[in-house]
Chain A
Amino acid sequence: MIDQNVLMQLIIILPLLAIPGIIAFGKWANLREAVTLIAGGLLLVAVIIFYQGFDSGQTAYVKWLELLPGLDISFRAEPLGVLFSLVAGSLWVVTSIYAIGYMRGHGEVNQTRFYACFAVAISAVMGLAFADNLFTLFVFYEVLTLSTYPLVTHAGTDKAKQGGRTYLSILLATSIGFLLLAVVGTWWQAGTLTFTEGGVFDENTSIVAASVLLVLFIFGIGKAAIMPFHRWLPAAMVAPTPVSALLHAVAVVKAGVFTVLKVCVYIFGIDLLRDIPATQWLLYLAAASVLLASLVAMRQDNLKKRLAYSTVSQLGYITIGALLASQAGILGGALHIVAHAFGKITLFFCAGAIMVAAHKTEISDMRGLGKAMPITMIAFFIGSLSIIGLPPAAGVWSKWYLLMGTLDTHQWVVMSVLMLSSLLNIAYLLPIPLRAFFPGTGQVVKVERSAIKEAPLPSLIALSITALMTMILFFWPDIFYELAASLAGLSGGVNG
């Protein structure tokens, strides 16, 4: 067996190791993509082995550098991080398969830069997942922002540039303006930034200071896309679909809510969190974000835009889970990271497949598409079920625990918002596959039906895998459930 410490560092570095290969083979597309796939496959194996080691009780801790006394770049394995690394690690390879079909089908340029930046972003996600302290997390959070910027502006058009500007300015503004201040503030109040079970603040910390810090954190973590700092997410949809799928439905946004969960559990600790008056207000803000984003999603005709707003809404669920400050809430939040990742990536894959194969981006043009693209539309249907929270898809479990959390803490308003939003999810997601199969009497896709075929094979394989995973996770959620439970269980003896 490989030493867990070595393995953990390997997971962080592995995507970077692929970059020289990607660049060296830049001129030979097949070789270049083989490098990406091999790296993705190895990473998947590595995260699985690492999980097994972690599950058998082996710890991992590495310190890389020390900037100032107590301020260091170090990594440690803990349940939430392992969970996140499993999700991101398994989806990178699937996305790579998908990207090959998509990028070639779409005839994109600068593919070498694309794959290289992608690898940097994944590496940053892994570093973020295993971060042992807020500072390390902050560093990788910024690396993630900067490395995804070239991906967002990939097309190089004015629209892409504009989107990239919004993307970068909101993410940097929130992270430098609020998050950094919160980090320094935590350092000043608590004297440490290390993630600690039960939180880092002692009893003498004033409630006011804690409230201010909490607000700064929640606003500062722009990647969690709580309204009013959600604008970057729809703006990022100018990126090629594989980027939207892996980064802006999974890695980047999940990095945001992951940070929220980490901060709530390991910096504040749920006991303190419950006592802070600001928590309640932030909870309402998150609830408003859930509801409003769902309403906006209803009105979007562009499929990727609709999915983007749906993501904003679903991220709100996870933030709510964290802010509920109860075991069930944390459990549900952590599980929703997984469930939403698999569900949403499927939806984005489908959106991209439709774009490549049928050149359609608007939902109103997709009626009757089911006959031409049955696999894609079935996958879309399964993904939608998961997002809504209906069996047999993974989303059921996370939404179940989130509701439990609201009941435990008697947050009736939040509970009703969650219920209502689920109904809205049905209203804006399900019609798409249903209309595709049963177009009704409206305007049907007529344009040379025979010309539209299924998406390229690699893309099809990828979206089938994720759709299947979504169902598998309904029947066997054990791995992720145990990780999430140990996260929630660790965080203090509250009623569950």
Chain B
Amino acid sequence: MIDHLPILQVIVPLLAAPICLILREAQLVRWFTLIASVFAFVISVLLLQQVQAHGTLIYSLGGWDAPIGIEYRIDQLNAYLLILVTSISSVALLAAGTSLQKELTERKETYFYVAYLLCLAGLLGILTTGDAFNVFVFLEISSLASYTLIAMGRDRRSLWASYQYLIMGTIGATFILIGIGMMYMMTGTLNMYDLAERLPEVQQTKTVFTAFAFFMVGVCLKLALFPLHLWLPNAYAYAPSIATVFLAATATKVAIYVLLRFIFSVYGFEFSFSHLPLKEILVALGLMGIFAASIVAIYQNNIKRLFAYSSVAQIGYMILGLGIGSKTGLVATLLHLFNHALMKGAIFLALAGVVYRVGSVNIKAFAGLGKQMPWTMGAIVVGGLSLIGVPLTVGFVSKWYLVLALLESNWWPIAILVLVGSLLAVIYVWRLVEAAYFRPALQDSAPYKEAPLMILIPTWILVLANIYFGIDTSFTVGLSEQISASLFGVAK
């Protein structure tokens, strides 16, 4: 059993999806999905234990060894993200039943869970596999599932948002496929570790550079790096609330994982950062993302869109950390990966509560909510403080490392820019605070009740996680430092 953990991680949600279709009954499906997700979470925790105890796990699919068969490889980086994805997915599913009752018709509910599980399976597949083509396959599974999830939104604009994402996502996937194809052409292998061994022999060829470029652009599209982020705000804004929670907290993070894996493990740090001006590109795009997206966020009246733009900005921070090209910088990226998932998870879940009671996430609808829904708004405020990077929240920890990394590299001006960027976060968070706490409630509506417990509880689980991991950083920082060291170790 223990030996088969890597494949179980993927197979559990993948098989659970069709079973949902057999079960049909919405209530049943809901609990079944939750159980499957929690089961996946347990597996990921066991995997991390295994990795910490025995080092990298290698699992050959069907007993066929690589390079003939497909190989699954779990090291600390994979295990770290597996835990992130499965835990957020489980917490989001806790709230799903209640939230979806309002946002979907019952018949659609089952399909929602099917798509959700497929998306989860796809993301977990990307994280476990050690095969480049397999990455593409799972990427498509998760993407197609997420187009479906987004299209289920109540607002008809969700169809358009989903279509937009479909077009952009397909372009991204095609680029990735072209990249992988070229790599295969040059090396004759698809296994990442074989690739890593064979690429240096041919690394001066134009084809390899082109492959790298195609691949990077494709992945950056998937992770919504500015200026390739255009699909993201609409997708997050119009998707059903629970889908937004799940996608915002996990999908882009997994794409960043792919980026890290190929930069560090496949091509190697030397190739990525020395032969190409990747450092400059990433730093410039990261910074531009932080500023452009934050400024746009300030002017949004749809709060889900506002936080979607904020996500684009936060991705900018992660990419910036990576672009520094130092161990501390990578620690900052890895920390922010985890921490941002906690923040946005909490915020979007709280917004799910608002949608449930108020039915709108327009800033006007927030008038007076501070008094009427104190726990929900409290969650958003804590999440917002974390986004800003106030001490004792997770946001502070990642910002601390990012600034430290910038200072270590003697990039003072950029450190200042990063901090100025967090001030922009203050502005957009505070617009919401003012609306919720200072504007009197609209006269014509009856006072809204606090969000239902089944939404509040998962929201506050994530809020408390925001504070807990902001104080006890041993898990996140410890693991990030180990991962960073090992990724740079591989590069040598």
Contacts and interface: CB of A to CB of B under 8 A. Distances in A.
B259 to A, nearest CB: 26
Interface residues of A, number: 26
Interface in B449-488: 470-473, 477
Contacts of B412: 212
A142 interface: yes
B423 A177 contact: yes
B303 to A, nearest CB: 19
Interface string A159-193: 00100010011001100110011001101100000
From A65, A67, A173, residue with most partner B Cβ within 10 Å: A67
A217 interface: no
A188 B400 CA distance: 11
A139 B438 contact: no
Closest 6 A/B residue pairs (Cβ): A139-B391, A188-B407, A184-B403, A177-B419, A173-B423, A172-B426
Interface in B408-448: 408, 412, 415-416, 419-420, 422-423, 426-427, 430, 434, 438
Contact of B422 (A68, A176, A188): A176
Contacts, number: 62
A156 B423 contact: no
Contacts of B423: 169, 172-173, 176-177
Contacts of B419: 176-177, 180-181
Contacts of B337: none
Contacts of A181: 403, 415-416, 419
A180 B426 contact: no
* Chain A contact residues, majority secondary structure: helix
Given A184-B407, A188-B404, A67 B434 contact: no
Given A185-B407, A212-B412, 20 more contacts: A65-B471, A65-B472, A67-B471, A68-B473, A142-B391, A146-B385, A146-B390, A153-B438, A156-B438, A165-B434, A168-B426, A169-B423, A169-B426, A173-B426, A176-B422, A184-B404, A184-B407, A184-B415, A187-B404, A188-B407
Given A161-B434, A172-B426, A188 B392 contact: no
Contact of B430 (A68, A168, A184): A168
A388 B402 CA distance: 47
A239 to B, nearest CB: 15
Contacts of B408: 188
A173 B416 CA distance: 11
B125 interface: no
Contacts of B473: 67-68
A304 B408 CA distance: 46
A173 to B, nearest CB: 5
Interface in A174-222: 176-177, 180-181, 184-185, 187-188, 212
10 contacts: A67-B470, A135-B391, A142-B390, A142-B391, A169-B423, A169-B427, A177-B419, A180-B403, A181-B415, A181-B416
B7 interface: no
B438 A68 contact: no
A138 B391 contact: yes
B397 interface: yes
Contacts of A138: 391
A135 B473 CA distance: 15
From A68, A135, A138, A146, residue with most partner B Cβ within 10 Å: A68
A87 to B, nearest CB: 25
B239 to A, nearest CB: 32
A184 B397 CA distance: 12
Nearest to B426: A172
Nearest to B471: A65
B217 to A, nearest CB: 34
Contacts of B392: 139
A68 B478 CA distance: 9
B388 interface: yes
A91 B127 CA distance: 59
A132 to B, nearest CB: 15
A184 B400 contact: yes
Interface in A441-480: none
B389 interface: yes
Nearest to A64: B471
Contacts of B416: 177, 181
Interface string A121-164: 00000000000000100110010001000000100100001000
Nearest to B391: A139
A188 B404 CA distance: 7
Contacts of B397: 67-68
Contacts of A67: 397, 470-471, 473
A425 to B, nearest CB: 35
B311 to A, nearest CB: 20
B400 to A, nearest CB: 7
B432 to A, nearest CB: 14
B452 to A, nearest CB: 24
A161 B438 contact: yes
A177 B301 CA distance: 27
A185 to B, nearest CB: 6
A254 B407 CA distance: 30
B435 to A, nearest CB: 11
Contacts of A176: 388-389, 419, 422-423, 426
A65 B467 CA distance: 13
B162 to A, nearest CB: 37
Contacts of A172: 388, 423, 426
Given A169-B426, A184-B400, A68 B477 contact: yes
Contact of A177 (B420, B438, B471, B472): B420
Contacts of B477: 68
Contacts of B427: 169
